[in-house]
Structure 1
Amino acid sequence: MQDLSKELTLVTVTYNSAAVLAAHIDSLRDGARSPMPRWLIVDNASTDQTDEMLKKYGGEVELLKNAANVGFGGACNIGIAASKTRYVMVLNPDTQLSESALQKLLSELKSNDAAIAGPALEPVDDHEVEAVDWLVGAVLLFDTEKMNAIGYFDERFFLYEEDKDICKCANDAGLKVIQCRNVSIPHVGGGSTVRTKKVNEFIHFHKGRSFALYALKHGLPDDVLNNYVRDNTRRKWIALLTFGRSRYLRARAKLKGVNSLNN
């Protein structure tokens, strides 16, 4: 059995995630039979009870508090830079861990000579391990000896598409990205702030901005971005004419995100 305390560092990125963070930590802590990996909580300037709640864990976790919200990828980069082990796993705070899942995912990463590995985030019927184009960023395990040469998250992606981007960069560099459906790390969801009108507009702004950034960065055909703009323009006006205010605001925010790259 691998010694996770010496081989692996966990990096959980939080933003107003106090409601789910304790369950996330306890999911591994309560069932662990061996010393736990070093666990960094990189917090993006939360204003909830995250700091206070973490005090009960003492030295079992380490809080790295950002003065401002630097986005998911930026916070991951901070945690990865602070890690000292070859293997680093970045996590959403609404995932449920187990020692056996960490052991298995690390074993698969090593045996498949991969740079990035991800588990099944929900129940699946097959247990295949296969090379893939990209993985969902809720759980990503990195071999830093392979990844250091190409770097990690592009911090221009504040929210969304950063997982797709880093996997494409790895694949384009000839590194292997694998999905291990024989490993289960459930992604419960709902790990961030309450969805107010302002938050929803912020989220959809970054969906649009990140979609456009990915398309431009990787030279996707012009039709990909043009169709995205056309579809959201149509949705915006249909929603306006049918009094679908929330749909209108979502489409408008996405278009603002796309247009922000021209400013």
Structure 2
Amino acid sequence: MPAVETHPTPLLLNEAAQATVDLSVIIVNWNAAAYLPAALDSLLAAQGDLAMEIVLVDNASSDDSLALVRERYPQVQIIANEVNRGFAAGNNQGIRQARGRYILLLNPDTELPPHALMDMLAFMGAHLQVGVAGPRLQGAKGKVQGGAAGYDPSLATMFNFATFLYRLFPHRFKGLWLPRSLYESDDPIPVDWVSGACMLLRRSALDAAGPMNERYFMYSEDVELCRRIREAGYGVICLPAIHVTHHIGGSSRQLGPEFYAHNIDSLDLDLRTRYNAAQVALMHTIAAFGYLLRMLFYQVHYWRHRQPIFLELRDLWAACLKTSLVRAVKPARVVRPLAGGKE
């Protein structure tokens, strides 16, 4: 059982209880102590006049994450798991405790600009049929991250992603990811999903759709949740005018490039709920071609520039390529909670 360091909160909240909190922020953490201070400092700096609560769900970290938060951020509510339950299950724990009218799922390796919370909430308040909103995610140097938002995995979107059509003709072909060129405008963009690294949820939309699907240990749970929210009648919007820094992989990259292949396993779980085995095999094969192109691209970049980051990116896409070819013939298994936070 997780240790909960806060006053008990009923799972079913009445309207009066919810009205006292504008925003509940859920942070699922695993060994991200190096990033947590910047994330929490930026979050508190962006709070303004909001009635906000922060719930940190720790998935059996072996670093000093919990000690750091207890000492420096006593206002943060902590749920300490004895095993690594994964991203979806951890968020669900926080959501059950949350009292806010809005819920922000936030990675521990993000940094918010001062206006981010107010701007996102203002947008949601003015657009009552929007159930989910997410910002532009970018690296420390401002480069847009591809996986911040996008469209449902399908034969068309996977083909357009693999062949780069979504980037060459962004207004005609939809890919898995929103192309970087579309972030150049500040206009809100209707999408199928936004990343769970920074996802603002309207509570009524979440109540209508239900919690995150815990079959997904990590990755694709945000895509699947946004799909159910859209099926419940709400819109999903990317807000490119709001820039949030994401030090991508602050937790997952600790296990090396092979852990990124888990993205493919989660994609496989999602595809097999909607397509037959032959269709899934075809989509994985098409995706593998795209991963091969990206792997070769970064190998050439490394030969030319000799920068270690290109080796890391090459290995990332190589792991995705290998796993995608395996998943074309062999379904992924559901990952169970990991003892001690290790795979």
Which of 257, 279, 290 does residue 223 from structure 1 map onto? 279
What residue is the counterpart of 1:37 in the other structure? 52
Shift in Å, 1:131 = 1.9
Note the residue ranges of structure 2 that are not aligned, 5 or more in a row: 1-18, 143-182, 297-310, 335-343
Matched, 1:163 2:163: no
5+ residue gaps in structure 1?
none
2:67 pairs with 33, 41, 52, which one? 52
**Partner secondary structure for residue 254 of structure 2:** coil
Match of 1:178 among 234, 237, 257: 237
**Partner in structure 2 of residue 142 of structure 1:** 201
**Root mean square deviation of aligned Cα:** 3.1
Displacement of 1:91 in angstroms is 0.4
- CA gap 1:86/1:219 in 2 versus in 1, 3 angstroms: farther
TM-superposed CA distance for 1:31, in Å, is: 5.9
Q: Which residue in the other structure is 1:94 paired with?
A: 109
- Which secondary structure state, in structure 1, belongs to the residue aligned with residue 26 of structure 2? strand
Partner of 1:110: 125
Q: What secondary structure, in the 3-state scheme, does the structure 2 residue paired with 1:38 have?
A: strand
Residue 80 of structure 2 aligns with which residue? 65
Residue 125 of structure 1 and its aligned partner are, at CA, apart by: 2.7
In 2, distance between residues paired with 1:186 and 1:30? 15
Stretch moving more, 116-125 or 207-216: 116-125
TM-score by length of 1: 0.82
Greater mean alpha carbon deviation, residues 206-215 or residues 181-190 = 181-190
Match of 2:135 in 1: 119
Once the two structures are TM-superposed, the CA of residue 37 in structure 1 deviates from its matched residue by 1.2
2:30 touches 2:58 (CA, 8 Å); kept in 1? yes
Aligned match of 2:93: 78
TM-score by length of structure 2 reads 0.64
Tell me the equivalent position of 1:192. Answer: 251
Report if aligned partners of 1:8, 1:88 keep a CA contact under 8 Å in 2.
Answer: yes
* Distance (Å, rounded) in 1 between the aligned partners of 2:332 and 2:20: 42
Deviation at 1:130, TM superposition (A): 2.8
Q: Distance in 2 between matches of 1:39 and 1:154?
A: 22
> 1:159–1:203: 8 Å Cα contact kept in structure 2?
no
Matching residue's letter, 1:188? H
**Cross-structure match for 2:258:** 201
- Residues 173 and 30 (structure 1 numbering): CA distance in 2 closer, same or farther, change over 3 Å? closer
C-alpha distance after superposition, 1:48-75 (max 9, x if no partner): 1101111223432111111111111111
- SS of 2:95's partner is helix
Distance in 2 between residues matched to 1:91 and 1:15, nearest whole Å: 13
* SS in structure 1 at match of 2:185: coil
Q: For residue 214 of structure 2, give the secondary structure of its aligned residue in structure 1.
A: coil
